[in-house]
């Protein structure tokens, strides 16, 4: 599914994100349609990735169910492979990024000679992909358009983006969710390297929203061979969207003004789809079953589910 254009009962708003189409129902519920669009460097790439939306939505459903004892989540129903219906929350304007290893953006920052990221000091003497002594939280602003920006805990509170009390609770939830995610990953022979969480609030209750522990929001390494690769200074075998970013960078694209997205061949698109399916099967332990649903059937099923909620 590349994009939807539903007219749902009680629909009061519609928002098209980078990869999701979000419908607000009676200002109380949200219908999130996870498309096959893919973004990198905050740019939506020109070709969709088959079954990517189904993978993201179904991994998120499994992970939200497996963590609901830690923090309430927004989910009320998952009526279709790529659709989730849940509570409409007042969203906190920051994303809680948590890192267990020196990888990706953190490594690029470290490699440049800097030892501070989002107000957090990173220790000397680390190599790419090494574990931090303990996980670090490196939040970002939540941008609807353009780039998310690094921000420190202190600045978030000083600017009033999140109250001190709420932010301290978000930190606790973030570390607890990450610990559970790492435990779930370890059972499948994986290392949850880093991820991000988004939270919202209804009244005094904080909910985790959107998706968690998916290949779009997270990075995984294979546990087998990790130590040997670190000792040899070799790249880690990983399951994440990072390989898409690396392919784009290798082909001269980093989302900067004037840069053209390189041609995405059928072979490349199919390889990305296969990597997403691989992660689903590895992280959930379930066989992935490709499901194709027409837009008309999807709209009907969503409407029927909304009537029951």
What's the pLDDT score for residue 211? 93
DSSP designation for 38? -
> In this prediction, what percent of the chain has a pLDDT beyond 90?
78
**Nearest alpha-carbon partner for 203 in 84, 89, 287:** 89
CA atoms within 13 A on the CB side of 117: 24
pLDDT in tens, 177-193: 999 999 999 999 999 99
One CATH from 3.30.470.20, 2.60.40.10, 3.40.605.10, 1.10.10.10 for 91-240: 3.30.470.20
- Among 106-115, 139-148, 196-205, 282-291, which is the least confidently predicted range? 139-148
Decide which of 145 and 35 is more confident. 35
What's the pLDDT score for residue 5? 86
Provide mean pLDDT across the span 155-159. 96
Provide mean pLDDT across the span 156-181. 97
Provide mean pLDDT across the span 8-12. 95
Residues 3-24 as b or e (16 or more Cβ within 10 Å = b): ebebebeeeeeeeebbbbbbbb
pLDDT band at 148 (very low <50, low <70, confident <90, very high): confident
pLDDT in tens, 20-32: 999 999 999 999 9
pLDDT surpassing 80 at residue 143: no
pLDDT band at 146 (very low <50, low <70, confident <90, very high): low
pLDDT surpassing 80 at residue 239: no
pLDDT in tens, 40-90: 888 889 899 999 999 999 999 999 999 999 999 999 999 999 999 999 999
| Token pair of 200 as six digits | 């919202």
What's the pLDDT score for residue 25? 97
| Token pair of 36 as six digits | 């096959």
Tokens 């522990």, located at residue: 213
What's the pLDDT score for residue 216? 83
pLDDT surpassing 70 at residue 145: no
pLDDT surpassing 90 at residue 255: no
Question: For residues 162 and 94, is the Cβ–Cβ distance under 8 A?
Answer: yes
* Exposed/middle/buried for residue 34 (C-beta within 10 Å: 0-12, 13-18, 19+): buried
- Mean pLDDT of the residues in the chain: 93
Out of 44-53, 62-71, 140-149, 276-285, the most confident range is 62-71
Taking 3-state DSSP, the helix, strand and coil percentages for the chain, each rounded to the nearest 5, stand at 35, 25, 40
Provide mean pLDDT across the span 225-238. 94
**Nearest alpha-carbon partner for 190 in 221, 228, 236, 229:** 221
Structural domain spans, the chain: 91-240
pTM of the model: 0.89
């Amino acid at each position: 599914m590349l994009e939807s254009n539903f007219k749902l009962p009680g629909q009061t708003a519609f928002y098209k994100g980078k990869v999701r189409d979000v419908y607000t129902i009676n200002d109380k519920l949200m219908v999130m349609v996870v498309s096959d669009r893919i973004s990198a460097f905050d740019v939506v790439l020109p070709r969709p990735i088959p079954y990517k939306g189904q993978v993201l939505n179904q991994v998120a459903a499994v992970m939200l169910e497996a963590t609901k004892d830690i923090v309430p989540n927004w989910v009320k129903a998952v009526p279709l492979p790529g659709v989730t219906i849940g509570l409409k929350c007042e969203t906190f304007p920051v994303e809680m990024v948590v890192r267990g290893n020196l990888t990706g953006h953190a490594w690029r920052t470290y490699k440049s000679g800097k030892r501070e990221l989002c107000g957090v000091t990173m220790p000397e003497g680390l190599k790419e992909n090494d574990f931090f002594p303990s996980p670090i939280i490196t939040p970002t602003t939540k941008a609807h358009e353009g780039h998310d920006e690094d921000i420190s805990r202190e600045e978030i509170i000083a600017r009033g983006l999140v109250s001190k009390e709420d932010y301290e609770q978000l930190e606790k939830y973030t570390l607890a969710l990450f610990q559970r995610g790492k435990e779930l990953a370890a059972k499948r022979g994986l290392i949850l390297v880093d991820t991000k969480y988004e939270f919202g609030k209804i009244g005094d209750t904080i909910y985790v929203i959107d998706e968690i522990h998916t290949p779009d929001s997270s990075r995984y390494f294979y546990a087998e061979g990790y130590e040997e690769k670190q000792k040899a200074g070799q790249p880690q075998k990983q399951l994440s969207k990072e390989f898409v970013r690396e392919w784009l960078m290798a082909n001269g694209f980093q989302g900067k003004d004037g840069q053209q997205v390189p041609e995405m061949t059928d072979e490349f698109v199919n390889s990305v789809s296969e990597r997403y399916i691989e992660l689903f099967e590895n992280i959930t332990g379930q066989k992935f079953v490709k499901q194709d649903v027409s837009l008309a059937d999807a709209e009907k099923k969503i409407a029927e589910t909304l009537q029951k909620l």
